[in-house]
Every structure is written in C-alpha cells, then in structure tokens.
Amino acid sequence: MDQIIVTGNGALNGEIPIAGAKNACLTLMPATLLTDQPLTLTNAPRLSDIRTMTELLRSLGAEVASLQDGTVLALSSHDLTSQRAEYDIVRKMRASILVLGPLLARYGHAEVSLPGGCAIGARPVDLHLRALEAMGAELDLREGYVNAKAPSGGLRGAVIDFPIVSVGATENALLAATLARGTTVLKNAAREPEIVDLAECLRRMGARIEGETTGTITIEGVDALHGATHPVVTDRIELGTYMLAPAICGGEVECLGGRIDLLGAFCEKLDEAGVSVEQTNRGIKVARKNGRIKAVDVKTEPFPGFPTDLQAQMMALMCTAEGTSVLEETIFENRFMHAPELARMGARIEVHGGHATVTGVSKLKGAPVMATDLRASVSLILAGLAAEGETIVSRVYHLDRGYEHVVRKLRGVGAKIERVKEGEAAHG
C-alpha cells in the first residue's frame, strides 16, 4: 500500500497543468454506446476511474483504445456482445450506472449492477430509475441488478421534473433521451459544466439538445447518432484543488487551462478570504494577497454554487485562517470524515450534523493521517504542505481515482512531497 509523505516547505511558485475533467470523461465515455460509429475524446485524464470505465465498456464488447499517453480515447460500440454490466466492475465506481440509459435507449434492454464508489453517503440511484420509468422503461430490481426493458418501439419522450438536482440522474436521462421517440424535457436539471460538456458532445454526434445551462433541458429524439471528436472540459475540481495550494502555502501559481467561469462561487470565496485570483491567457494565476487568510463561511450547493467536491480542500485552508468559519454540507451526508484527520494535525474542528465549525490556528503540525475518500485524501496533502514537520498520508489509493501525477505537479512548484511504499523512508 502506498503512502504520501509531505514536508512543509514554504511558498509554492510556478505552473501546474490542469487535466481534463474526470467527472466529464466518465459521462462522455458511455455516449459511445449510443452509436455504432467511432467516438474520440481528447484531453482525457489518466486516472484509475477512467481505466475502470474502460474495463466496463470493454466487458460489453465496446472497443476502447488509449492513445497519446492516455490523453486520447478512441471508442467504438459497433458490435456490442452484452448488455449486462457486471457487479465485479460496477462496484468499483458509482459512475458505472451511466451505461444504463444508453444501453436501454439503443438496445431496448439492459442489466446493470447497483454501483459502488466513495463512502460519502447513500447517493441512491432512484432518481435515475424514475427518469427512465417516465420514458416508458419497465424496471425490475433483483439480486443487486437493475433489469430494464424499453417498451416496444423504444423509449418515448417525457417531461421529467427532478425533485432535487441530481448530476448523475440528469446525465443518464439526457443520454437516454437522445434516441427516445418524441420530446423529453428535464426540469430542475443539473447545470454543472460536465452536463454542458456532455450536451455539446452529444450535439456533435447529431443529438438535438437545448437549454443545458438553464436548468430545463429539452431533447428532441433522433433515430440514430453518429461518430464525433470531442475535447473533455477542464477538471474544475482539480483546478480548485491546486488553486488552494498557494493560498495555503503562500507564493504564486498559474493553473494552466483554468477558467474562472468553471468555479465562480469558489473564486468569490477565495477573494473574500484574501486570495488573488486572476484570469490569464494561459489559465488562472493565484496568490495570497497579504498576511494570514481570513475565515469565510462556505455552503455547498449544486452548480453554480460552491462545489461539494472542494469542501474538504477548503476546510484545509480554513484550518489556519484568522477567525472562525462554518462549512455547511448540503449535498452529501457523512462528508466530514477528513475532519478528525485534520484534527490530528492540530486543527480545531467541531462537527455537528451537516455543519463543521473551524477555528483557525496559527500553524498545523505534521502527523500520520489516513485518507477516507478521494477529496479527503488531497485535503490532507494540502494541509501537510502548510504544516510544520512531516505528514504521512495513508490509503492514498483514493487519490488515483481523481488526480493524475499529484506528486509530480506539486513538486514542479516547489513542494517537498514523495510517494513511497508503506514502511519505506521518503527520499529526494
């Protein structure tokens, strides 16, 4: 098992390239199931979750080739051999459920295991299933699998009003609706950049979609989609994570490929805390303004609000801020599991239900800590960058699901960080 060892080493300076979005790419890859023509995705991130989705698509008979050091994915589903997504693959990653809509839309039937993923709350798939049922699907849940059948003649258009905003359910319904008969309207739909990116890709494939930035998406079903080439949007969560590095440590870092419009609410909070955020022609330049970071309150919300996937990293920043901040988590329950680990480093955090109160301390101290999920793991690394002494982060396999080359990227701006096998001494 690998560990990451971080030694607080002062200010960070330089450039960090930002990869394509994991959550966008995982949504785009199942779009290949909607057509028998090739789909090519550029700017793909090189992550274990992408490899898991590749494994899943190949198990269905799709062809997936990783080109140009993994940054280009060439996909083809011209000759699928199965419409059953097996538990052994699906359990590894929640996004696996996104093959359900495309398989049902194109083939009229699908069997998909209920998914796994990070242990950050229940995250049920009932909204996915309700949306497909509204389009005429007959669903039967047995032995841990969703057995789905479309009516004769295929899925049909419907008005689907989501009771709460759900990114995954919006994506599954959007994918399925492209081949449904008639018009589908998704109300209270998610508006995340990954949804916009999916709509743009599907339009390139011949889909008729409008309104993906508004919360009401209208899809006119077509008989067939064709192949396309599409660049994956910048990963706004990786972007926000690395923007926090100079905020925590001092210095100035330019995040290449970054766009403020992907993280408007987050950038506003950084400005409020005393962090300079500047759009450049190459990305986003970030620097701490003057003195100690100021405490700010944060409430996670669906886009365009503050992203839940940046809450843990923002908590790391607030640990050494001047004053007291309250972080409210409204998207997932059980998403403060990083708080006790930060407390091991000297942070003062009190958690009550969906609220965490953080009273800033002058300095964190390095300690052995354990990652509990993907975003928690990187929050501990950020905290370690600003702590006195050595921080050892265990269970970093979570990290590989969402961040490529973390050690290389942070070293490139001056961080003292090493990945080692458990029990080995750090070096270099």
- DSSP character string of 29-58: GGGGGG-SS-EEEES----HHHHHHHHHHH
Q: Are residues 249 and 169 in the same domain?
A: no
Residue 428 lies in a domain: no
Residue 188 DSSP SS3: coil
- Tell me what pLDDT residue 1 has: 84
Sequence-distant (6+) residues with CB within 8 A of 221 are 155, 157, 177, 178, 179, 180, 181, 182, 183, 184, 208
What b/e readout covers 79-98, taking b as 16+ CB neighbours within 10 angstroms?
A: ebeebbbbbebbbbbbbbbb
The tokens for 152 are 């004769």
Predicted TM-score (pTM) of this structure:
0.91
Q: Which of 231, 266, 294 is the last residue of a domain?
A: 231
Rounded Cα distance between 8 and 1, Å, is: 23
Q: How far is CA 47 from CA 52, 211, 243, in A?
A: 9, 31, 20
The backbone region for 274, taken as left when phi is positive above 0, alpha when psi lies in -120 to 50, beta otherwise, is left
Q: Which of 169, 200, 231 is the last residue of a domain?
A: 231
- Count: domains in the chain: 2
Residue 426 lies in a domain: no
- Tell me what pLDDT residue 118 has: 40
Q: Are residues 141 and 254 in the same domain?
A: no
Rounded Cα distance between 110 and 294, Å, is: 52
Q: Are residues 262 and 125 in the same domain?
A: no
Residues classed as catalytic = 118
Query: Which residue ranges make up the annotated binding site?
Result: 22-23, 94, 123-127, 309, 331
Residue 201 DSSP SS3: helix
Identify the helix (H) or strand (E) that includes residue 265: helix 264-273
Q: Are residues 347 and 299 in the same domain?
A: yes
Q: Are residues 240 and 98 in the same domain?
A: no
Query: Which residue ranges make up the annotated binding site for UDP-N-acetyl-alpha-D-glucosamine?
Result: 94, 123-127, 309, 331
Q: Are residues 109 and 181 in the same domain?
A: yes
Residue 203 lies in a domain: yes
Rounded Cα distance between 399 and 421, Å, is: 15
Query: Which residue ranges make up the annotated binding site for phosphoenolpyruvate?
Result: 22-23
Cis peptide preceding 304, ω within 30 of 0: yes
Residue 83 lies in a domain: yes
Residue 265 lies in a domain: yes
Residue whose entry in the numeric block shows the structure tokens 């067939």:
224
Identify the CA nearest to 18 among candidates 253, 267, 277.
253
Q: Are residues 227 and 239 in the same domain?
A: no
- Tell me what pLDDT residue 303 has: 94
Residue 244 lies in a domain: yes
Rounded Cα distance between 199 and 180, Å, is: 15
Q: Are residues 131 and 29 in the same domain?
A: yes
Q: Are residues 132 and 267 in the same domain?
A: no
Q: Which of 231, 255, 274 is the last residue of a domain?
A: 231
Strand partners, 369: 393
Q: Are residues 242 and 154 in the same domain?
A: no
Q: In what order do the strands lie in the sheet with 208-210?
A: 159-161, 183-187, 216-220, 208-210
- Tell me what pLDDT residue 64 has: 98
Residue 361 lies in a domain: yes
Rounded Cα distance between 74 and 224, Å, is: 20
Q: Are residues 6 and 97 in the same domain?
A: no
Residue 62 lies in a domain: yes
Q: Are residues 179 and 315 in the same domain?
A: no
Segment-wise mean pLDDT, segments of 10 residues, the chain, 428 residues: 93 97 96 98 95 97 97 96 94 91 98 66 76 97 92 96 95 98 98 97 98 98 98 97 97 97 98 98 95 96 94 97 97 86 97 96 96 89 96 91 92 97 63
Q: How far is CA 73 from CA 18, 135, 198, in A?
A: 18, 31, 15
The backbone region for 123, taken as left when phi is positive above 0, alpha when psi lies in -120 to 50, beta otherwise, is left
Domain that holds residue 357: 2-19+234-421
Q: How far is CA 32 from CA 60, 66, 230, 235, in A?
A: 11, 15, 12, 21
Dihedral (C-alpha) 367, 370, 373, 376: value to the nearest 10 degrees?
Answer: -10
Rounded Cα distance between 8 and 30, Å, is: 41
Find the CATH number of the domain harbouring 381.
3.65.10.10
